[in-house]
Structure 1
Amino acid sequence: MLKTIPEVIAEARASLTVISAEQAVVLVKKEQGVIIDVREPSEYAEKSAQGTINIPRGLVEMKMLQLYPNETQPIFLHCATGARAILSAEQLKRVGYVNVSVISSSLDDICRAFT
């Protein structure tokens, strides 16, 4: 039986660490984490939060393994709605990253929090 995207996202979300933008600001500084925006480059160019790195969802596993080969690296993922970040976090956990969080706030809230 096929699942809807909202069902897949809800299942994935249940096994992930999901935090607010405000929590992410504190944790990024405390843990020296990296903030990854998994939206497409054109979306990122239009509006992005200060200090984030753009790695589109379709490339996130490959690029992260190249850029951040430490499986304990604190990683904070976000997108515009949370869906792509959740799917990306699930993939990063699948390849072995153990310190992955999803920022669940809106893009506007993330941009405000990271100014």
Structure 2
Amino acid sequence: MKFIVDNWMLILIALSSGSMLAWPLIRGTGGGSLTAQGAVQLINRSRGVMVDVRNAEEYAAGHATGAKNVPFDQLEAKLPLAVKNKTVPLLLMCATGARAQRAVAAAKKLGYEQAQAVAGGLKGWKEANLPVEKA
């Protein structure tokens, strides 16, 4: 007990720094989303498929190189046609990541268990200096 009383300041610093380190784990760091670099690794190593869930106009203005376009409102009908293999990693992207997070839930209901959202969407993709093409 004397140790705790004598070193309360050090214990407080250790607890606060530990909680700061643990915060991303507690918060969920993007709710199952992965970084742009992580997406590239899944594409290269596991033959992951990038699907852009923005509408056709947004997609035509610029999208991640190699991404397929399946608008969010047509996901249920068109995703099984665009990505037949439900066992490959499915990487979902939108402008900022919000629609892609909702699309992950929809894709998992369709049987795509490895569906993940790309954190930050196309904005994060561009910030990571990854290639973008126009339709």
Tell me the TM-score range normalised by the shorter chain. Answer: 0.7 to 0.9
Name stretches of at least 5 consecutive residues in structure 1 with no aligned partner. 1-12
The number of residue pairs the alignment matches comes to: 102
| Alignment root-mean-square deviation, CA | 1.9
Give yes or no for the alignment of 1:97 onto 2:112: yes
Name stretches of at least 5 consecutive residues in structure 2 with no aligned partner. 1-29
In structure 2, the partner of 1:86 is 101
- Give the Cα–Cα distance (whole angstroms) in 2 for the partners of residues 40 and 33 of structure 1: 21
Q: Which has the larger radius of gyration?
A: 2
Deviation at 1:79, TM superposition (A): 0.4
Given that residues 86 and 113 in structure 2 are in contact (C-alpha distance below 8 angstroms), is that contact kept between their aligned partners in structure 1? yes
In structure 1, the partner of 2:16 is none
- Give the Cα–Cα distance (whole angstroms) in 1 for the partners of residues 57 and 71 of structure 2: 10
Q: Which moved more, 1:64-73 or 1:90-99?
A: 64-73
Given that residues 52 and 69 in structure 2 are in contact (C-alpha distance below 8 angstroms), is that contact kept between their aligned partners in structure 1? yes
Deviation at 1:96, TM superposition (A): 1.4
Deviations 1:49-96 (A, max 9, x none): 111111100111221212323321210001011111011110010121
In structure 2, the partner of 1:49 is 64
Correspondence 1:1-115 to 2 at 5 A: 14=31, 17-111=32-126, 112-114=129-131
Percent identical: 33
- Give the Cα–Cα distance (whole angstroms) in 2 for the partners of residues 34 and 106 of structure 1: 15
Relative to structure 1, the CA distance from residue 105 to residue 66 in structure 2 (aligned partners, 3 Å threshold; closer, same or farther) is same
